[in-house]
Structure 1
Amino acid sequence: MRKATHLLSTLALLGLAVTPALAQKTYLHCGHLLDVRAGRLLGPQTLVVERGRIVAVQAGYTAPAGPTDKVINLENQTVLPGLIDCHVHLESTPSRNSFRERFTLNPADVAYRAEANALVTLRAGFTTVRDCGGSGINIALRKAVAQGLVPGPRIYAAGTAISSTGGHMDDTDGLSDFMIERLHPGTADGVANGPEQCQQAVREQFRRGADLIKIASTGGVLDLSKDGSGAQYSEAEIRAVVQTARDLGLPVACHAHGAEGIKRAVRAGVTSIEHGSLLDAEAMQLMAKSRTWYVPTIIAGKSVADTARRHPDYFPPVVAGKALSIGSQLQATFGKAIKQNVRVAFGTDAGVYRHGQNALEFTYMTEAGMAPLEAIRAATLNAAELVGDPQSLGTLEAGHYADVVAVAGDPLRDVSLLTKPTFVMKEGVVYVGKQ
């Protein structure tokens, strides 16, 4: 400290400048700005950005204050907060070969694909995502993005998701006894039975650096088990997961299709229900009363059902049957849930369908009866609360990250505009549009 003080004194005596360099500011001139908190579309506004954060929101078009400051002209655009998708799988790329690729791809192959999927997602206007399960590469990708090594959205990663033997996360579903004996997945692989193993599986993911815990209380559509709707965890097992995760400061996202598995999970205290395809009235009432978040992923349900109808040989027969019987019900279920005041956070299950199409979910949400403003709030205000950082995400306010999306028109009148962002900025860096 004394050396630094002496150096500054010497420079001053020599008449050399000692004032610190001023950080460059960026002024975004916004023709319209969507205040998602107030639910108002404002006239001309200026967002002042410095060091990746919004430092001021000013009425009108403010001129730059410093010689190195710059202006980005969005005067013909509508500006809104960066979007948040609360359910993606960046490691997954859908194809006819998805099942075979479990045995043919190396971790490096998956990592390169995940990096490409992350960039596509960011350029689609989604500046933050929750990755709800993969091999653990999602945690490494989160670190690489945060360190600036690769471009991508801000990632909250679940690591490897957890289910019972024969459940949605058991990669030996449908395989021969020969393969099952050799693979023999355990808690480190996301397969756990009984409260003690469930506790251990949570701790495994915590040790690996997961931001949240993802479990499956029912079967799924895209696994090789015969039924996706039945409950596959007891309430005691789910409580063990929730309590252990809570002790470690982690929320719990629960994949669930069938009503009984949903109700057990809600009673046990999970943070969110993912998919919820077969929610019944009792489950909706439980979720509304407990304020459990609902992440509907309508686009995933429609995508797998449409694919199974149009291309009968695309999925294995057991998967195709579930895709048609379960996936096709999601949108109607969502429409009923919003009438019961279930809290909704935006999520799509990207990776089940092609990455970058996430914003189609807005259209499906509004088709089911949700107002465009509420659909956008689900992907901003609500999603920021679900991922646990409403102080920095979800709105365009001073102190928040400079995560900004612009579209050429009014998304409150035409929500499909969100599928065609003209400008995307994350933490002050422009990824789509002119700088």
Structure 2
Amino acid sequence: MSYLLINNGILINGNGGTPIQNAAVLIKDNHIVAAGLEESIKIPAEKINIVDVKGSFILPGFIDAHVHLMTEGFTREETIYTPLSLYFYNAIERMKRTINAGVTSVRDAGLADVGVKLAVDNGIIIGPRLQISVSPLSITGGHFDFWLNSGFDIKPIYPGYPDGIADGEEEVRKTVREIMRAGAEVIKVMVTGGVISANDRPEYPQFSMKELKVIVEEANYRNLQVVAHAHGTKGIKNAINAGANSIEHGTCLDDECIELMISNGTFLVPTFIAMKINKELAEDETSAIPDWSRDDAIRMEKVHENNIRKAYKAGVKIIMGTDSGVITHGRNLDELGYMCDMGMDPMEAIVAGTKKAAESLGWEEKLGSIEFGKLADIVISKYDPLTNIKSLGDPNNILLVIKDGKIVKNIL
């Protein structure tokens, strides 16, 4: 049994209330046993380690609901030339960048397998807590079909990573079961094309309603959620009506989509940072973004921003997700600044990246806020995020990171 006291800070606990001055958090092993005014916390008689944060800001560990830890850039050259083992070694460094940025939990939206998760859970490598989807589901010729017109198929397939391409109700059912057998904790499905797709367009729907209902049915048998990559309007509606728990990106959502999301309690993960960086890369003719996706990346970004703002104003549940992997890892909390540019106030953005994100992942009982009984995931910010939300996007301003009661970064 060991105790850790974080004291002399300003507490923003993730619940959206007024920050608490002169605050402290008491941790026993890996759980929070007290949080609030320092003078109200009973200090145990046992030996205790004390970390004085010197007036800095105490926040819950952030949750990124959409990352791809096994890649960075999704370039054809990387996929063609990278040895399989190098993906895993590179992921170690990417996970370190992610947790150093203040993100203590992630939902990996494709490519990380159960071995990556176990390596983190067992303390072999340092990284955020993972919820994995393993292989995204795609139709033949869809967003995660990497077959090229040259005849080369560059998708990564190995024993721990089943092929996610499926067509027809029976094939879809079998593939979902294979992905769950491989250790998936959430099912990811591509219900439309993508901005960087080789064989489709963002607006094109994928999977029939019958196929999507089979996917959701199979996931529900094991109490797993379904998250849907969706840009086009038709695909978004199909996913919501089939029972998907969240829409990732949501670029072309319209008023009907918004009404459906509100009535069904569907979460929205807008991934602003990926949409904006993809646009910037597309506008740079020297960048490695594929030629076929340049026009889509530029065109879709403005559509995305306008529609997400509309969804926010209507009351859709929006949470933080970055699509890191499509973009560089380690700047995850830049997303909070973009969410505020859209219309959120800083406290709303913080809650979207902590408490609400935990709810979306089904982890609200153990994560997302600093309060009694929750796992001790804590971030110390150098600057006040309520007056300068964009300061959180610089990992140098994240002074201390605690995950599961253990200090994994300390530059106080």
Q: Which structure 2 residues correspond to residues 24-423 of structure 1 after superposition, within 5 A?
A: 24-60=2-38, 64-66=43-45, 68-94=47-73, 98-134=75-111, 137-172=112-147, 174-176=148-150, 178-179=151-152, 188-419=162-393, 420-423=397-400
CA contact (8 A) 1:331 1:364 kept: no
Distance 2:57 2:35 in 1: 15
> Secondary structure of the equivalent of 1:399?
coil
| Residue 286 to residue 63, structure 1, CA distance change in 2 (3 Å) | closer
What secondary structure is seen at the aligned counterpart in 1 of 2:162?
helix
C-alpha deviation, 1:184, in angstroms:
11
Residue 64 of structure 1 contacts residue 70 of structure 1 at CA under 8 Å; is this kept in 2? no
The residue identity in structure 1 corresponding to 2:115 is A
Query: Could you say what the CA RMSD is over the residues aligned between the two structures, in angstroms?
Result: 2.1
Aligned-partner Cα distance in 1 for 2:186–2:323: 16
Please report how far the alpha carbon of residue 265 of structure 1 lies from its aligned counterpart in structure 2 after TM superposition.
Answer: 0.6
**Distance of 1:382 and 1:154 partners within structure 2:** 17
Change (3 A) 1:182 1:422: closer
Q: Is the 8 A contact 2:20 2:36 kept in 1?
A: no
Q: CA deviation at 1:209?
A: 0.6
For normalisation by structure 1, the TM-score amounts to 0.89
Deviation at 1:138, TM superposition (A): 3.5
8 A Cα contact 1:30 1:78, kept in partner: no
Matched, 1:433 2:407: no
Q: Is the 8 A contact 2:267 2:360 kept in 1?
A: yes
Structure 1 stretch 386-395 or stretch 36-45: which is displaced more?
A: 36-45
Once the two structures are aligned, what percentage of the paired residues are identical? 33
Task: Write the letter of the residue equivalent to 2:60.
Answer: P
Report the TM-score, using the length of structure 2 for normalisation: 0.94
Structure 1 unaligned regions, length at least 5: 1-22
Q: Residue 341 and residue 180 in structure 1: after superposition, are their counterparts in 2 closer, same or farther (change >3 A)?
A: same
Contact 2:194–2:200 under 8 Å retained in 1: no
Deviations, residues 291-344 of structure 1 (Å, cap 9, x unaligned): 111000000000100111123552221121221122343222221110111111
Distance 1:146 1:391 in 2: 19
Q: Classify 1:230/1:77 alpha carbon distance in 2 versus 1 (closer, same or farther; 3 Å).
A: same
For the Cα contact (< 8 Å) 2:399–2:411, is it kept in 1? Answer: no
The offset of 1:199, in angstroms, is 1.0
Q: Is the 8 A contact 1:162 1:216 kept in 2?
A: yes
Aligned equivalents of 1:144 and 1:314: distance in 2? 32
